[in-house]
């Protein structure tokens, strides 16, 4: 089968003990059945330690929610004792994500990891493809997949080549039209043109919607509430951030748009891409207003925090998807207004 990923994924290396927000802290880690059986048969003291720290198919996190195998130097004892190839699936994949479409496996690296965020923000999205061994895949709608793939390629090439405000603005109109076509069984790509006029955005309501989501870390909601004071005064995201915002928008479109192959739903996914890009850009600008500086490192950490809180919670993504249809601050016109 064909594996398709942005070329920069090959450069990804976990920075382990240098990571400021290790993925070995705060997440429940499910152990896949193959790895669980392997761990069951490890002998000696380390085998005993392994089994005594696994319960209900997961590692038993300590009081600070650290994985019991993350040692005090920030390194993984399983890698040290058994080797990197003996990690469970979730630990060896993370932060890589994958989606399967017949004989195509698509993937990338997720923004919730700070090192991945550095690559996503600093590298151009250039697809690289290679052959890998076959993996089973459920049925999918080939015609819909082809349509969405062509549409996604078109959106990404505009995001890479044209002005960001104009592209985001047309992208939401274009997706509304494409959604109409899909809902009516018309498998045609619409024209790339503006159809709705932008309206004044309601920044306070957008922040309020994000505050309704389930926080992952206790500091997130106070952070959002403090940033809102500054966000209300931001009329435009600075031109100097455009190159980074483009890469973020491409990341979100690439990752989420094709999920429409499985349920025919694309509008909420394009709104997620547009609003997430704007939110992260807005949080960068708030940081500058508060601290007079937001260097590249800080931009990566802010993007990573947003991703962790919003994108890496299935529940939050579902709530947001509903809000994109129900809430007045997320109409197509108002989202377009964010990028004027
Ligand atoms: S978040 Fe990324 S860099 Fe940090 S420990 Fe996990 S994979 Fe490594």
User: pTM for this structure?
Assistant: 0.95
> Phi first, then psi: what are they for 119, rounded to 5°?
-70, -45
Same domain for 322 and 237 = yes
- Statement to judge: residues 64 and 153 lie in one domain: no
212 with 298, same domain: the answer is yes
Judgement on whether residues 171 and 310 belong to the same structural domain of the protein? yes
- Contact between 69 and 76 under an 8 Å Cβ cutoff? The reply is yes
What is the DSSP pairing of strand 2-6 with strand 54-55?
unpaired
Instruction: Say how many domains are in the chain.
Output: 2
Q: Does one domain contain both 148 and 294?
A: yes
Strand, helix or coil at 59? strand
Would residue 9 count as lying in a domain? no
Which residues in 278-295 are b (16+ Cβ under 10 Å) and which e? bbbbbbbbbbbeeeeebe
272-301, pLDDT tens digit by residue? 999 999 999 999 999 999 998 999 999 999
Same domain assignment for residues 154 and 46: no
pLDDT (0 to 100) of residue 176: 97
Query: Whose C-alpha lies nearest to ligand 1, atom 8?
Result: 14
Residue 127 lies in a domain: no
Distance from the alpha carbon of residue 90 to the mean position of ligand 1, in angstroms: 12
Shared domain check, 182 and 52: no
Q: Please check whether residues 199 and 306 belong to one and the same domain.
A: yes
pLDDT along the chain (340 residues), means of 10: 97 95 92 95 95 95 94 94 95 96 95 98 97 85 97 98 94 97 96 92 97 96 97 92 97 98 97 98 96 95 98 96 97 94
The answer to whether residues 217 and 324 belong to one domain is yes
Give a yes or no: residue 334 inside a domain: yes
Asked whether residue 329 is domain-assigned, the answer is yes
Main-chain dihedrals φ then ψ at residue 254, nearest 5 degrees: -60, -45
Considering the domain architecture, whether residues 78 and 158 belong to the same structural domain is answered as: no
292: which residues sit within 8 A by CB, 6+ positions away?
Answer: none
Identify whether residues 332 and 219 lie together within a single domain: yes
Where does residue 65 fall: left (phi above 0), alpha (psi -120 to 50 degrees), or beta otherwise?
A: left
Assigned domain for 106 exists: no
* Top mutation candidate among 20, 22, 216, 301 for ligand 1, by most atoms within 8 Å of CB: 22
Domain of residue 287 covers 142-338
323-337 pLDDT per residue, tens: 999 999 999 999 999
pLDDT at 215: 96
Distance (angstroms) between ligand 1 centre and the Cα of 295 equals 21
Whether 69 is in a domain gets the answer yes
Mutate-to-test residue for ligand 1 from 15, 17, 119, highest number of ligand atoms within 8 A of CB:
15
Q: What letter does residue 256 receive in the DSSP assignment?
A: H
Q: Are residues 197 and 308 in the same domain?
A: yes
């Amino acid at each position: 089968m064909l594996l398709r990923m942005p070329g920069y994924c090959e450069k990804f290396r976990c920075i382990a003990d240098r990571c400021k927000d290790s993925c070995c802290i705060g997440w429940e880690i499910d152990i896949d059945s193959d790895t669980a059986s392997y761990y069951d048969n490890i002998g000696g003291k380390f085998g005993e330690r392994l089994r005594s720290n696994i319960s209900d198919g997961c590692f038993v996190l300590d009081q600070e929610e650290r994985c019991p195998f993350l040692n005090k130097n920030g390194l993984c004892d399983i890698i040290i004792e058994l080797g990197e190839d003996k990690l469970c699936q979730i630990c060896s994949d993370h932060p890589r994500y994958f989606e399967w479409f017949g004989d195509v496996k698509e993937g990338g690296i997720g923004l919730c990891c700070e090192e991945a965020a550095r690559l996503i923000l600093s590298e151009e999205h250039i697809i690289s493809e290679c052959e890998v061994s076959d993996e089973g895949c459920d049925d999918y709608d080939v015609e819909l997949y082809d349509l969405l793939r062509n549409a996604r390629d078109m959106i990404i090439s505009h995001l890479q080549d044209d002005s960001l405000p104009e592209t985001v603005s047309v992208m939401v109109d274009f997706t509304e039209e494409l959604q109409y076509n899909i809902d009516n069984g018309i498998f045609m790509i619409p024209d790339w043109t503006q159809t709705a006029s932008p309206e004044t955005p309601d920044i306070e309501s957008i922040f309020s919607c994000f505050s309704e989501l389930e926080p992952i870390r206790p500091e997130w909601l106070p952070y959002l509430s403090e940033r809102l004071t500054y966000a209300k005064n931001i009329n435009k995201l600075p031109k100097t951030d455009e190159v980074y915002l483009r890469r973020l928008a491409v990341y979100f479109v690439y990752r989420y748009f094709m999920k429409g192959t499985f349920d025919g739903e694309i509008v909420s996914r394009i709104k997620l891409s547009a609003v997430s890009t704007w939110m992260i850009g807005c949080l960068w600008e708030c940081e500058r207003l508060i601290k007079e500086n937001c260097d590249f490192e800080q931009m990566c950490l802010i993007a990573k925090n947003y991703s962790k809180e919003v994108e890496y919670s299935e529940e939050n993504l579902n709530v947001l998807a509903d809000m994109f249809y129900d809430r007045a601050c997320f109409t197509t016109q108002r989202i377009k207004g964010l990028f004027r």
